[in-house]
Chains A and B, each alone.
Chain A
Amino acid sequence: GQQLNQSPQSMFIQEGEDVSMNCTSSSIFNTWLWYKQDPGEGPVLLIALYKAGELTSNGRLTAQFGITRKDSFLNISASIPSDVGIYFCAGPIQGAQKLVFGQGTRLTINP
């Protein structure tokens, strides 16, 4: 079935640094979604990408839909403490509105 491989699994950075994480698949996805999950909360949708090559920003977050439709990346610029959490990529299984999720990237920020 369609699977998403997310890397890195965890990141430990200093406040103010930029962050980059990516998501790859052996299958084509027509949509890429990026979520953030805070401890004790449900995932919150950050960015949705619908077109190959699309680059979309949401504040300090920027995400790109890979041209091959098999990958996507998420960048966070000038990280702040509230960026701590787990970031998930997700995409719809072809022919359905069901989502498959990557394994997540756990971001830790040292002040």
Chain B
Amino acid sequence: SAVISQKPSRDICQRGTSLTIQCQVDSQVTMMFWYRQQPGQSLTLIATANQGSEATYESGFVIDKFPISRPNLTFSTLTVSNMSPEDSSIYLCSVVGGAGVDEQYFGPGTRLTVT
């Protein structure tokens, strides 16, 4: 399976600021996703990062709040804009890979705390 890294691994930010999270994969992948995991909760899909075009957002998530870039098949960024304490979560990128078309592999996550 692909090796996925995320930067930063964690950050503490002040409300009203923005943070950009990077996701780097060691091989070219077609499908890349961003998830949010709020404290003590399960994973919720934010959007599908599309290479060369605008990301596809899930209900409840908008581009102005979570702009996503995907300049090539190995890299994507997620920005959390105008942060509030409610944005404190773990943000995870994932890629589709492996033998099965539905198998997703996750990065280590970025733990964000907004004060």
Whole-angstrom distance between the Cβ of A65 and the nearest chain B Cβ: 12
Stretch at the interface among A12-20, A43-51, A74-82: A43-51
> In the bound complex, what is the Cα–Cα distance between A104 and B42 (angstroms)?
6
Whole-angstrom distance between the Cβ of B109 and the nearest chain A Cβ: 5
Is A40's CB within 8 Å of the partner chain B? yes
B42 touches A45 (CB 8 A): no
Within the complex, which residue of B94, B105, B108 is in contact with A41, where a contact is CB–CB below 8 Å? Answer: B108
Report B53-79 CB contacts with A as 1/0, cut-off 8 Å: 000001000000000000000000000
Whole-angstrom distance between the Cβ of B50 and the nearest chain A Cβ: 12
Within the complex, which residue of B42, B45, B58, B100 is in contact with A102, where a contact is CB–CB below 8 Å? Answer: B42
Instruction: Please indicate the chain B residues that have their CB under 8 angstroms from the CB of A98 in the complex.
Output: 33, 45, 48, 58
B45 touches A41 (CB 8 A): no
Instruction: Please indicate the chain B residues that have their CB under 8 angstroms from the CB of A103 in the complex.
Output: 41-42
Tell me the number of A-to-B contacts counted with CB atoms below 8 Å: 61
- Shortest Cβ distance from B45 into A: residue: A98
Within the complex, which residue of A41, A48, A100, A102 is in contact with B103, where a contact is CB–CB below 8 Å? Answer: A48
Whole-angstrom distance between the Cβ of A64 and the nearest chain B Cβ: 17
Instruction: Please indicate the chain A residues that have their CB under 8 angstroms from the CB of B100 in the complex.
Output: 31, 48, 50
B31 touches A97 (CB 8 A): yes
A42 touches B109 (CB 8 A): yes
B102 touches A45 (CB 8 A): no
A101 touches B43 (CB 8 A): yes
Whole-angstrom distance between the Cβ of B104 and the nearest chain A Cβ: 6
Within the complex, which residue of B42, B48, B58, B106 is in contact with A42, where a contact is CB–CB below 8 Å? Answer: B106
Is B96's CB within 8 Å of the partner chain A? yes
B45 touches A99 (CB 8 A): yes
Report A16-48 CB contacts with B as 1/0, cut-off 8 Å: 000000000000001101010000111111001
What is the interface of chain B, defined by CB distance below 8 A to chain A? Answer: 1, 4, 31, 33, 41-45, 48, 58, 92, 94, 96, 98-109, 111
